[in-house]
Amino acid sequence: MEGLSTAFDMGAFSEHCNRAGTLSRLRSITLTVDEHTSLADWQRDVLNLLANAPLQQFHISTIGGHVNHRLSDEFCKAVVSAHGERLTRFSVHRMRMGIDAIADICARCPALQQLFIVVEQDDLDELGSCLAQARRLKAVHINRPLDVGSEDVPRQSYNKIVDIARECPPTVKQFGFNTRVFQVERSGVLAEDGSIQMEVNLTPYENPEIPEQFLVVRT
């Protein structure tokens, strides 16, 4: 449901779908919202729309380059409460998120494999401990609102995301930041005390296929 007219009535549509039972097999949905939409009403109607769907993949973004919408913690938690046991992907683009919502997604979605999020700079320090709770996570992609469109990763930011990657579970193989995607490589290093410590590094993405997060949202 991408690029819908501002005249589209999400509330009426959700009521119609629930009466008819038309989404009883829906496993994946992609939603976009524009800057003129009343986000509070829209989020309520979307929750109602998806109430009876066996959802596994949830994608949401803004359109038209708008980056000022904030996805409420309550909305994210409601999605997780309804679908968390099944969700394998939670994907948010160009919409700010709170660290509490991200922590809740990681803690209550036991099947989560892919997480794409928008994170404020001040929340990066807490992000690693959140991601550590997602024991089956395979791919993480982080966007920062002020860095949208930037292809370079400053050294300070690179050091920060390496620190975050080190806190991720060992299942994570792909780590992205803005428009850059890295492979996560782990190797055992012999410490001075004779123990083996795991060294985590981010290396260039070598897979010829386009990373999934760049296929989720159309511009």
pLDDT digits (tens, 9 = 90+) for 76-112: 999 999 999 999 999 998 888 999 999 999 999 999 9
> What dihedral angle (degrees, nearest 10) is formed by the CA atoms of 117, 163, 171, 75?
-20
pLDDT at 148: 47
Confidence category of residue 2, pLDDT binned at 50, 70, 90 = confident
Asked if the structure places residue 193 within a domain, the reply is yes
Number of domains composing the chain: 1
pLDDT at 31: 93
132 pLDDT higher than 70: yes
Mean pLDDT to the nearest integer, 114-133: 93
Residues 63 and 218: their CA atoms lie apart, in Å, by 8
Q: Could you tell me the pTM of the whole model?
A: 0.87
Confidence category of residue 146, pLDDT binned at 50, 70, 90 = low
Domain CATH for 147: 3.80.10.10
Asked if the structure places residue 190 within a domain, the reply is yes
Cross-sheet strand order for the sheet of 180-190? 28-33, 57-62, 89-93, 114-118, 139-143, 174-177, 180-190, 196-204
DSSP 211: P
Q: What is the pLDDT of residues 186-197, one digit of tens each?
A: 887 777 777 777
Average pLDDT, the chain: 87
* Of 139-153, 171-185, 192-206, the least confident: 139-153
Question: What residues make up the domain containing 108?
Answer: 10-216
147 pLDDT higher than 60: no
What percent of the chain is modeled with pLDDT above 70? 87
Q: What is the pLDDT of residues 47-79, one digit of tens each?
A: 999 999 999 999 998 886 666 788 999 999 999
Asked if the structure places residue 3 within a domain, the reply is no
Let me know how long the chain is. 219
Asked if the structure places residue 4 within a domain, the reply is no
